[in-house]
């Protein structure tokens, strides 16, 4: 096997010529939108009212409420508040992860290498918008039950990431322009400690490293940490 430093150098050379996009953050946002969309409240007549949930920062949400007279409150909006490096969980780029995987297409076991994923702390902003305090209270009750004490976030990247409520604030506004409608707003900041996955590469029996174009055809089972010669179950 080639030294780990040589593997890292070869991966970096491959990345100079490969341009790829990631839907990492979108996966988290879409999960939160779907989860918030499971909420409902009881109206004054005791009827169940489902709550619409969608992506929008607070300014855009207010603009949408001004423009769309058919938008029925209460609603929930989700947005990314901040993304920051997590120094406590940081791993240097000379750490190489090796995974064994099963190639469904080729019907054979393969070895996959990658540079250590990037540890980040992502803050999401969830906003509750309603006309009545009772609706806000019901939504907050549902939220607290979801985060009990944490919300398990499930994406194609991981099923073990947890989200915690880090801050709750009242950010109500009194009216929306000429509509003169009172709108109550509760802002909830959610903190997620996670890892941005790095690109994976096929490590052949001859020591060659190739880009993987069909990662969806691979089933991963375990990570082999070559720096400590210890084995751990695959993260996510």
The residue-averaged pLDDT of 33-53 equals 94
Beta bridge partners of 53: 76
CB 40 within 8 A of CB 53: no
> Is pLDDT of 114 > 80?
yes
Comparing 11 with 79, the larger pLDDT belongs to 79
> Is pLDDT of 9 > 50?
yes
For residue 100, give its domain range: 4-233
This prediction's pTM: 0.78
- Please write the tens of the pLDDT for every residue from 85-106: 988 887 765 678 888 888 787 7
Q: What is the mean pLDDT of the chain?
A: 83
User: Which pLDDT band holds residue 119 (cuts at 50, 70, 90)?
Assistant: very high
* pLDDT of res. 156: 87
Q: Please count the structural domains in the chain.
A: 1
* pLDDT of res. 175: 61
- Please write the tens of the pLDDT for every residue from 192-209: 999 998 888 888 877 788
- Please write the tens of the pLDDT for every residue from 69-88: 788 999 999 999 999 998 88
The residue-averaged pLDDT of 183-195 equals 95
CATH number of the domain that residue 36 is part of:
3.30.2000.10
> Is pLDDT of 28 > 50?
yes
Mean pLDDT is lowest, of 35-44, 122-131, 146-155, 194-203, for 194-203
Encoded tokens for 114:
């990658």
Residue length, the chain?
236
């Amino acid at each position: 096997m080639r030294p780990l430093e040589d593997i890292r150098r070869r991966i970096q050379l491959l990345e100079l010529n490969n341009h790829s996009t990631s839907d990492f953050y979108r996966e988290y946002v879409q999960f939160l939108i779907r989860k918030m969309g499971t909420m409902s409240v009881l109206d004054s007549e005791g009827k169940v009212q489902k709550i619409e949930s969608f992506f929008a920062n607070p300014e855009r949400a207010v603009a949408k409420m001004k423009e769309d007279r058919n938008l029925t409150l209460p609603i929930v909006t989700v947005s990314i508040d901040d993304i920051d490096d997590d120094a406590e969980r940081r791993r240097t780029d000379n750490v190489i992860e090796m995974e064994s995987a099963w190639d469904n297409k080729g019907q054979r076991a393969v070895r996959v290498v990658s540079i250590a994923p990037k540890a980040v702390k992502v803050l999401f902003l969830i906003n509750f918008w309603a006309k009545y305090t009772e609706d806000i209270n019901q939504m907050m009750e549902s939220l607290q039950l979801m985060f009990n004490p944490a919300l398990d976030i499930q994406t194609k990247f991981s099923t073990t990431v947890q989200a915690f409520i880090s801050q709750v604030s009242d950010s109500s506004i009194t009216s929306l322009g000429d509509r003169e409608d009172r709108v109550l707003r509760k802002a909830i900041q959610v903190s997620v400690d996670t890892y941005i996955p790095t690109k994976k590469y096929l490590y052949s029996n001859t020591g060659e490293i190739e880009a993987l174009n069909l990662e969806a055809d691979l089933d991963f089972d375990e990570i082999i940490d070559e720096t400590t010669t210890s084995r751990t179950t695959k993260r996510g």
